[in-house]
Amino acid sequence: MEQIKYFLLQIFVVLAISFLVSAQDQSGFISIDCGISGNSSYKDSVTNIKYISDVNFTETGISKSISSDFNTTTLPQQFWYVRSFPEGERNCYTIKLAQGKGFKYLIRASFMYGSYDGQGTAPVFDLYMGVNKWGTVVMGNESNIIIKEVVHVLPTSSICICLVNTGFGSPFISALELRLLKNASYVTDFDLLALHRRLDVGSTINRTVRYNDDISDRIWVPYNFLNYKIMNTSSTVDSGGSNSYNLPGIVMSTAITTYNASDPLEFHWVPEDPSARYHIFLHFADLEKLQANQLREFNIYQNGNYFHGPFSPDYLQSTTLSSTSPMSGENIAFSLLKTNASNLPPILNALEIYLVLDTLQSRTDEQDITALMNIKSFYGVRKNWQGDPCQPKSFLWDGLICSYDDQIPNRITTLNLSSSGLVGEITTYVSELTTLQYLDLSNNNLSGPVPDSLSKLQSLKVLDLRDNPLLGSIPSELVERSKNGSLSIRVGAGGNTDLCASSSCPKKKKSYVIMIVAIVSSFLVLLAATSVLIILWRKRARKQPVIRLGTLEEKKQQLSYSEIRRITNNFERQIGEGGFAKVFLGNLDDSQVAVKVLKSSVQGYKEFEAEVKLLLRIHHRNLTSLVGYCCQKTNLVLIYEYINNGNLKEHLSGSKGSVLSWEERMQVAVNSAQGWMQF
């Protein structure tokens, strides 16, 4: 009985622990498998990390799978597919992060060529983190796996990772991984550190360690120095909570030490570039419980100079010592040497070396970037608009000019979207580019009013709106500025003759869209309605060249719906039906009229009103004239003069008995066109 209880308790503990483990799961992770199909995701069978497709993070590139020759059984799934970028010089991934600006991330890009293009020649290309060069990816051979990793304090809430074609083959990428780090880890004066080495010193397991041994998913490579003794423990390091580095217990529970306590523990590396600057992070935890007469205490020297100490690692509790300023040289050598008081040798559990990446180029103002991204998605701009807008200068976005000052973020001074096929209104996002001096939106299909918010552009010198079907008035503040010469406003030409550059504009703002709808729908409605009249005119024209519509013309009027009911005798006789409307015969002021009742939902009130105004204005002998209209809520009615002679179709087809001659048919076409020209 006791045994069963104990067994159940064990199960409970195991469940509780596994729940805790999964609760801390991948919360600060973004894991992208580049090139897999858009709607797919999977859990890696080894790491259990969930990978998603890259479609939401890049707009360009093509998906490719590696050659099966390089698909070994141990190859991680992230390398099965790649995204290749055969087009364009610079292609970017943009990743928005919930925990963005000011947060610290480990960002890892992985590459394996695997002859995905069947060429057998691995490319060489550059990698950028935002505006800063991250490194050059040199693939070497088909099966070589290249991993580039940085520790990066994000300058903005989203990051851009760009692949740049340098003329040695199309760039491609296999995977992108982001891991949120604690703010208090890897603290240096630099925002961008590239991983040089991350070593699990004294490893006894002969394999790399990553998630979920390492909850930050760092990849620790086992490394054993010759001539040093391995120390290990079965106890757990950092069991009572971890330090800010979240070091994996399995890495910290092994270490190296010297056989002779008075010997130094030494290691060194030879940088390719002696001017390269490195930061080092040394991770320690004592793995032996010391007796009262024992002391492990040592000093650390870098190239013979004092670096840190005296230092005593805590038992099963990790401590990280790091460089306060970057180091460089032809050979960077570290030496750990016990103090005179100590009777135990120095120890080292793990170490990381990072290369400081230059971040000299200033980037673009974040507000400007946000505004441009919004403009891009608003109009669906198809240009080279990827990565940072202003940097590097060789990849300046088309249509932009930036101001460059090393001390402050770059600002946008010119936005030239002339002839860019923009459709829709002028978006107020433009007004958020507050340092804009030149704004050229000419020769697009921009409609609607000029937004008042453009007045926010205090530095604006040129505003070019020519050749757009814009309507309404220019904001008065801009007009004021153009009067004293501080701003040049270019309007008119092409489509936007209706745009008035002064406050003398009529109050009523008509919309171009409404006009279009009105014209098109009027045309369709009239084409059907007038066909009847045209035939009549054709027949009468010989005797009576000009039709006088006489008294009816003065009686165009607005009627109530009950009057409509009355004149049609409660819609007694339907004489026609079209896509938009039903037509009833009516009697108004002793004349017969055609009462067209528009089906609801076909047109909105505004469109209807526009059509009525248009029809009331237009007079042509080849068009039936509008007698009156009714619009009450959803009841939209047009009243036309009634012409009782059948419709055009009947006459053209001859179903009415009289067949039209070719000459008459020609005349019908010409007259139709003349009526249409009135618009």
Ligand X SMILES: *[C@@H]1O[C@H](CO)[C@@H](O)[C@H](O)[C@H]1NC(C)=O
Binding residues: 596
The one among 71, 317, 370, 635 contacting ligand X by CB under 6 A: 71
Dist. CA 538–CA 533, nearest whole Å: 8
- Tokens 């530095």 correspond to 459
**80 sits near ligand X (criterion: CB under 6 A):** yes
The one among 10, 65, 166, 632 contacting ligand X by CB under 6 A: 65
Three-state DSSP at 22 gives: helix
**236 sits near ligand X (criterion: CB under 6 A):** no
CB of 512 to ligand X, least distance (A): 11
CB of 257 closer than 8 Å to CB of 225: no
No. of H helices and E strands in the chain? Answer: 10, 38
The one among 340, 394, 407, 570 contacting ligand X by CB under 6 A: 340
Token code pair at residue 139: 């693939």
**314 sits near ligand X (criterion: CB under 6 A):** no
Q: Which amino acid is at 58?
A: T
Q: Fill in the per-residue mask, 379 to 418: x = in contact with ligand X (CB under 6 A), - = not in contact.
A: -----------------------------------x-x-x
CB of 65 to ligand X, least distance (A): 4
CA 336 to each of CA 94, 305, 352, 436, 442: distance values in angstroms, whole numbers, following the listed order = 44, 11, 16, 58, 69
The one among 22, 121, 204, 562 contacting ligand X by CB under 6 A: 204
**206 sits near ligand X (criterion: CB under 6 A):** yes
**421 sits near ligand X (criterion: CB under 6 A):** yes
The one among 18, 227, 236, 262 contacting ligand X by CB under 6 A: 262
Which among 377, 374, 358, 378 is positioned nearest to 366, based on CA atoms?
Answer: 374
The one among 30, 66, 347, 631 contacting ligand X by CB under 6 A: 66
Dist. CA 33–CA 176, nearest whole Å: 7
Q: Binding site for ATP, residues?
A: 596
**338 sits near ligand X (criterion: CB under 6 A):** no
462-464/488-490 β-pairing: parallel
Give the dihedral sign, CA 180/186/190/193.
negative
Binding to ligand X (CB under 6 A) within 152-191 occurs at 183
Judged by CB under 6 A, which stretch of 137-145, 368-376, 539-547, 660-668 contacts ligand X? 137-145
CB closer to ligand X out of 73 and 394: 73
CB closer to ligand X out of 480 and 589: 480
CB of 59 to ligand X, least distance (A): 13
Q: What is the DSSP letter of 393?
A: G
CB closer to ligand X out of 293 and 340: 340
CB closer to ligand X out of 312 and 674: 312
CB of 177 closer than 8 Å to CB of 217: yes
Judged by CB under 6 A, which stretch of 65-73, 124-132, 188-196, 362-370 contacts ligand X? 65-73
Output the DSSP codes for 280-308. EEEEE-B-SPPPTT----EEEEETTEEEE
The one among 3, 27, 45, 73 contacting ligand X by CB under 6 A: 73
CB closer to ligand X out of 40 and 557: 40
**45 sits near ligand X (criterion: CB under 6 A):** no
Which among 424, 467, 421, 460 is positioned nearest to 442, based on CA atoms?
Answer: 467
CA 669 to each of CA 212, 232, 443, 622, 662: distance values in angstroms, whole numbers, following the listed order = 79, 98, 34, 11, 11
The one among 3, 27, 45, 68 contacting ligand X by CB under 6 A: 68
CB of 170 closer than 8 Å to CB of 117: yes
Q: Fill in the per-residue mask, 97 to 136: x = in contact with ligand X (CB under 6 A), - = not in contact.
A: -----xx---------------------------------
Count of positions on this chain that bind ligand X (CB under 6 A): 44
- Tokens 């939106």 correspond to 441
**661 sits near ligand X (criterion: CB under 6 A):** no
CB closer to ligand X out of 203 and 364: 203
The one among 3, 4, 19, 39 contacting ligand X by CB under 6 A: 39
H helices present in 409-492, as ranges: 476-483
Judged by CB under 6 A, which stretch of 256-264, 354-362, 520-528, 549-557 contacts ligand X? 256-264
Query: What residue ranges in 20-103 does DSSP mark as E strands?
Result: 29-33, 41-43, 50-53, 62-65, 81-84, 90-96
Token code pair at residue 97: 């992060």
**52 sits near ligand X (criterion: CB under 6 A):** yes
Q: Fill in the per-residue mask, 424 to 463: x = in contact with ligand X (CB under 6 A), - = not in contact.
A: --------------x-x--xxx----------------x-
CB closer to ligand X out of 78 and 522: 78
CB closer to ligand X out of 118 and 485: 485
Q: Which H or E element spans position 17?
A: helix 2-23
Q: What angle in degrees, to the nearest 10, is found between the helix axes of 512-541 and 662-677?
A: 140
CB of 327 to ligand X, least distance (A): 21
CA 70 to each of CA 59, 114, 141, 159, 636: distance values in angstroms, whole numbers, following the listed order = 28, 6, 11, 32, 71
Beta bridge partners of 639: 595, 628
**234 sits near ligand X (criterion: CB under 6 A):** yes
CB of 234 to ligand X, least distance (A): 4
CB closer to ligand X out of 396 and 462: 462
CB of 596 closer than 8 Å to CB of 638: yes
H helices present in 238-365, as ranges: 249-252
Contacting positions for ligand X (CB under 6 A) = 37, 39-40, 52-53, 55-56, 65-66, 68, 71, 73, 80, 102-103, 140-141, 143-144, 183, 204, 206, 232-234, 260, 262-263, 340, 414, 416, 418, 421, 438, 440, 443-445, 462, 480-481, 484-486
